[in-house]
Amino acid sequence: MANQLCIVLDFGGQYNQLIARRVRECGVYCEIKRYDTPLSEIRALNPAGIIFTGGPNSVYDSASPHIDPAYFDLGIPTLGICYGCQLMAYTLGGTVESCEKSEYGKIEITHGEGSLLFAGVPAVSTVWMSHTDFVSRLPEGFRVTAHSDDCPCAAFENPERKLYAVQFHPEVTHSQYGKEILHHFLYVVCGFKGDWMMSDFIENTVQKLRQQIGDKKVVLGLSGGVDSSVAAALLSKAVGRQLTCVFVDQGLMRKDEGDFVEQTFTKLFDMNFVRVNAQKHFLEKLRGVTDPEQKRKIIGTEFYNVFWDRIRREGADGFFAQGTIYPDRIESGRGNKAGQGSTDVIKTHHNMVGIPEDITFAGIIEPLADLFKDEVRRVGEKLGIPRELVWRQPFPGPGLGVRIVGEITEEKIKILQDADAVFRDEIARSGLESSLSQFFAVLPDVHTVGVMGDHRTYDHLIAIRAVTTDDFMTADWARIPFDVLARISNRLCNEVAHVNRVVYDITSKPPGTVEWE
């Protein structure tokens, strides 16, 4: 049974994915479509509700995305948010004007009686606003349902036509009752039944995978990251030993991580697990190389070569599976084509650029292609993947290769792995783990003078890096308490051979990047 569908029609707003995630958190399946999706296509998808996202500043700008007025004759319950709210008013004959004063941040609104959207919400509540235009006159048949000091039409509606609009952002957590308002729109206005549940997703996907795969084989490149791990577990549940997971250990993972991945997938799941121990091969290829870009290139190319050589040996006579997730393939309303044709592009963070020409598969399987990251994690937990893997922090494809400045040697990898393990252990003990987006140790390849007992030392400096961020485009260095830093420094110098000094990286991004190389 297909799920009921809600469409988030994307007008280029920054919160498009957040809206879709909130809808799914309400138990409603939701997909993001570009604003210029043909009406015939929208009708064919038969959505039970549509949400217009925010977008550029002004509906009067001809370059701004608009909507065919015939849309409103489709009779689909619609909620316009921010720009989407102004667009609804403008397209139906209302007036939009520039605010004398932009409203930005937490704003108080007051709502009147009788709106389904605000049922049970206190008359005065805080919402998140971010706009420079506002609706000054409503189209015929609409009524105002909420206002703020500077925004006379903070919410309005035409319940007969099931058209609703809010100038604020209910999807943002700063909107006190945002979740309730979305819930009312979905359940009361649109009549969704709430049939999007991860346990159903697993059962349905397993059935679909069995049908699709039949008695053929499937190969999957397992990196030990969240997405490929969950894809592997799902495929294992569906087809067991018809699945072969190929895990290339390039020797640049964190301490004992290769063994942990192997144990997890051989002990907990039914599949053929192939570990390619290519540590020596990578070290040889990287010998004498110090330039960061060159190192990345070599690691990427060798990963590709080693992986596909192994697939050739395993026999590529079935399907190829990969852990593509929904955000990898969303096309934004701004016309960003990233993710288009994702079925023939292997994710770059797996460091593979495509399938070699001499290898032909029966097809590509992407079992997580409709899920957001938090949903992938929920599926992973339900499938019994250990927490360490499901909640793993991001780890770059080139691994520790981008955290060892200068030439990569076996000795340096060992020092960095040991230091990183101590650092992570101390962060976990201090209870700081969930407040940090990413944290790791770096080996800057700098020797400094120190003293240990009566001896002078001349040994490695370790840098530690910890950041907080929402999207990794910008990041702030984490304010780890001094006493925790003191313990980390002590432990690193005492427990890790060849470390005699520790520095904490207090650079934000920009101007720094998260990784050192």
Query: 């290898």: which residue's tokens?
Result: 359
Residue 445 zone, left/alpha/beta (φ > 0; ψ -120 to 50; rest): left
Contacts of 292 (CB under 8 A, 6+ apart): 402, 517
Is 399 a binding residue for ligand XMP by CB under 6 A? The answer is: no
For residue 269, count other CB atoms closer than 10 A to its CB.
21
Window contacting ligand XMP (CB under 6 A); options: 154-162, 276-284, 391-399, 500-508? 391-399
Is 509 a binding residue for ligand XMP by CB under 6 A? The answer is: yes
Selected from 115, 158, 229, 438, the binder of ligand XMP by CB under 6 A is 438
Q: Which of residues 106-135 bind ligand XMP (CB under 6 A)?
A: none
Selected from 6, 396, 401, 460, the binder of ligand XMP by CB under 6 A is 396
- Between 133 and 227, name the residue whose CB sits nearer to ligand XMP: 227
Is 513 a binding residue for ligand XMP by CB under 6 A? The answer is: yes
Window contacting ligand XMP (CB under 6 A); options: 16-24, 139-147, 317-325, 396-404? 396-404
For residue 487, count other CB atoms closer than 10 A to its CB.
15
Q: What is the 3-state secondary structure (H, E, C) of 299-326?
A: HHHHHHHHHHHHHHHHCCCCEEECCCCH
CB of 509 to ligand XMP, least distance (A): 5
Which DSSP letter does residue 349 get? G
**DSSP codes, 63-126:** TS----GGGGGS---EEEETHHHHHHHHHTT-EEEEEEEEEEEEEEEEE-S--STTTTS-SEEE
CB of 398 to ligand XMP, least distance (A): 5
CB of 250 to ligand XMP, least distance (A): 13
Selected from 112, 122, 335, 394, the binder of ligand XMP by CB under 6 A is 394
Please indicate whether residue 171 is annotated as part of the active site: yes
User: Using CA atoms, how far apart are residues 247 and 241, in angstroms rounded to an integer?
Assistant: 16
CB of 428 to ligand XMP, least distance (A): 19
Bridge partners, residue 97, by sequence: 134
- Between 413 and 514, name the residue whose CB sits nearer to ligand XMP: 514
Biggest alpha carbon distance in the chain? 88
Is 398 a binding residue for ligand XMP by CB under 6 A? The answer is: yes
CB of 349 to ligand XMP, least distance (A): 3
Is 228 a binding residue for ligand XMP by CB under 6 A? The answer is: no
How many residues line the site for ligand XMP (CB under 6 A)?
A: 11
Token pair for residue 479?
């304010």
Please indicate whether residue 26 is annotated as part of the active site: no
CB of 164 to ligand XMP, least distance (A): 38
User: Using CA atoms, how far apart are residues 258 and 251, in angstroms rounded to an integer?
Assistant: 8
Closest of 371, 515, 358, 359 to residue 443, by C-alpha:
515
User: Closest CB to ligand XMP belongs to which residue?
Assistant: 349
- Report whether 153 contacts 134 (CB < 8 A): yes
- Between 367 and 397, name the residue whose CB sits nearer to ligand XMP: 397
- Report whether 131 contacts 13 (CB < 8 A): no
CB of 71 to ligand XMP, least distance (A): 38
Is 476 a binding residue for ligand XMP by CB under 6 A? The answer is: no
| Amino acid sitting at position 127 | V
Window contacting ligand XMP (CB under 6 A); options: 180-188, 254-262, 395-403, 407-415? 395-403
Selected from 34, 349, 382, 414, the binder of ligand XMP by CB under 6 A is 349
- Report whether 185 contacts 208 (CB < 8 A): no
Is 373 a binding residue for ligand XMP by CB under 6 A? The answer is: no
Please indicate whether residue 131 is annotated as part of the active site: no
User: Using CA atoms, how far apart are residues 465 and 297, in angstroms rounded to an integer?
Assistant: 24
Question: Which one from 169, 184, 350, 460 is the annotated catalytic residue?
Answer: 169
Selected from 397, 416, 427, 463, the binder of ligand XMP by CB under 6 A is 397
- Compute CA 121 distance to the chain's CA centroid, rounded to the nearest angstrom: 31
Question: Which one from 26, 103, 153, 171 is the annotated catalytic residue?
Answer: 171
Query: Rg of the chain over CA atoms, in angstroms?
Result: 26
- Report whether 514 contacts 472 (CB < 8 A): yes
CB of 476 to ligand XMP, least distance (A): 12
Half-sphere exposure of 44 (CA within 13 A, CB side): 5
Selected from 374, 472, 476, 506, the binder of ligand XMP by CB under 6 A is 472
| Amino acid sitting at position 175 | S
Considering Cα of 301, then 307, then 310, then 311, what sign does the dihedral take? negative
Q: Which of residues 294-333 bind ligand XMP (CB under 6 A)?
A: none
- Between 26 and 405, name the residue whose CB sits nearer to ligand XMP: 405
- Between 270 and 517, name the residue whose CB sits nearer to ligand XMP: 517
CB of 227 to ligand XMP, least distance (A): 11
Binding site for ligand XMP (CB under 6 A): 349, 394, 396-398, 438, 472, 509, 513-515
Active-site amino acid positions: 82, 169, 171
